[in-house]
Amino acid sequence: MSLISLPVFDISMIIVISIFIATYALLLIFSDLRAYIAAGAALVYVVLGLTGAITFTPLDALGGIEWNVLLMIFGTMGLVALFIESKMPSLLADKIIDWAPNVKWAIIGLAVFAGFISAFVDNVATVLMVAPIALTVCKKLKVNPVPAIIAIAVFSNIEGAATLVGDTTSIMLGAYANMTFFDFFFTQGHFSIFWIVQAGLLVATLVLFVIFRKEKQKMVSIEKTVVTDYVPSILMVGVVVLLIIASFIPNAPALINGYICVGLMLIGIIWKMISKKKVSAIKETVKEIDFLTLLMLAGIFIIVAALIKVGIINWLGQALAAISGGNAFLAYSIILWGSVFLSAFIDNIPYVAMMLGVVTVIATDLGVNPMLFYFALLSGATLGGNITPIGASANIAGIGILRKAGFKVKTWDFMRIGLPATLAAVGAAYILIWVIWAH
């Protein structure tokens, strides 16, 4: 079998990629308008499809939207609003202030904590749960919360690749390669991706200590928060437990995560209506949901769907195969670092879905263990989203929380934390995957 040859790059692909590049440039430059830019670009693709300029229908656009992700974010945002109202984030913030000697340790502690949760729960849900605690800590200490929320999002993305249930890309690899939950720890007699991710997290943590080295403000004693309603906290824990359980259900409904989050949000709203005896609980909770973040995500999903439909993502995958020239190490390096670069700008779910088949062919052609390329793909595609503020849904969710709190996040604000942390984590994974699996 020979390596894949590249297809022709036709006019429709040129049109779509040109709009894509312009759109992402605008997304990175105009941080306040990201939702409208993404939605506008998605609409342009649909209109071009209707005119016959490209092969892309409204049904393709709707089918490209990750409805499970949107429902999950919608439901979790509502739960978070109830969670914040219960004052539990404030109580947890008090405990962190008591534990941490200074701001640096508080931020890094929250980031690592978010990473731990994200190994077992979707990255977006993790950010939505942990970010309110960080916001409260920063508010009480009167420090800028932007770096803290960014660090939480970055570490959530890093740990998403650690286990079978940590991220959609991990679930996809598990299904494709017939990997069990425990295969992510040890498989074929070797250390698996979990330990590789932990090494990356350790190096990234050291990077955070450098980035936040000047944040030495002492923690101050404050009056402790009193929580009187624990139901929202129970529901938040319920999200974690049920999402983990759902990941083990064979042939589960495609929208099961969304159903769980929205269902628990509705339970929380009903509880608020009963306990406080007011119907306005519905309006108050829905008002706190960040619909601009949902709009931006929907737009990005449609943009990526257009790239897939006209064959650009497939072309990129085949290009990675063709330029490796039959060299296993070069192919490995291209897959990992190419995935890092591409995932900084496109959603990693459709990218991984397409590339799993491509890297399998490359592994067969080169006679190497496919796990080498599977783990390269998973690490690069999962961690690459940390480079830019629009590279991962968790980043967008975190920035949405900051925007609602009145804080603007510029592209450089994100990249000054995301870029070095990504390079550190991916660099560690790059070395370890090759050492362990190149045999």
Q: Is residue 356 part of a domain?
A: yes
Residue 5 lies inside a defined structural domain of this protein: no
Q: Is 355 part of a structural domain of the chain?
A: yes
Q: Which domain holds residue 410?
A: 13-437
Domain count, the chain: 1
What are 320-370's pLDDT values in tens digits? Answer: 767 777 788 999 999 999 889 888 877 677 678 667 877 887 888 788 899
The answer to whether residue 198 is domain-embedded is yes
Instruction: Please indicate, yes or no, if residue 136 is contained in any of the structural domains.
Output: yes
Q: Which pLDDT score is estimated for 8?
A: 67
Does the residue 164 lie in any domain? yes
**Predicted pLDDT of residue 222:** 61
**pTM, two decimal places:** 0.73
Asked if residue 3 belongs to a domain, the reply is: no
The C-alpha atoms of residue 57 and residue 52 are separated, in whole angstroms, by 9
The per-residue pLDDT for range 256-283, each reduced to its tens digit, is: 888 998 999 999 999 988 888 878 878 8
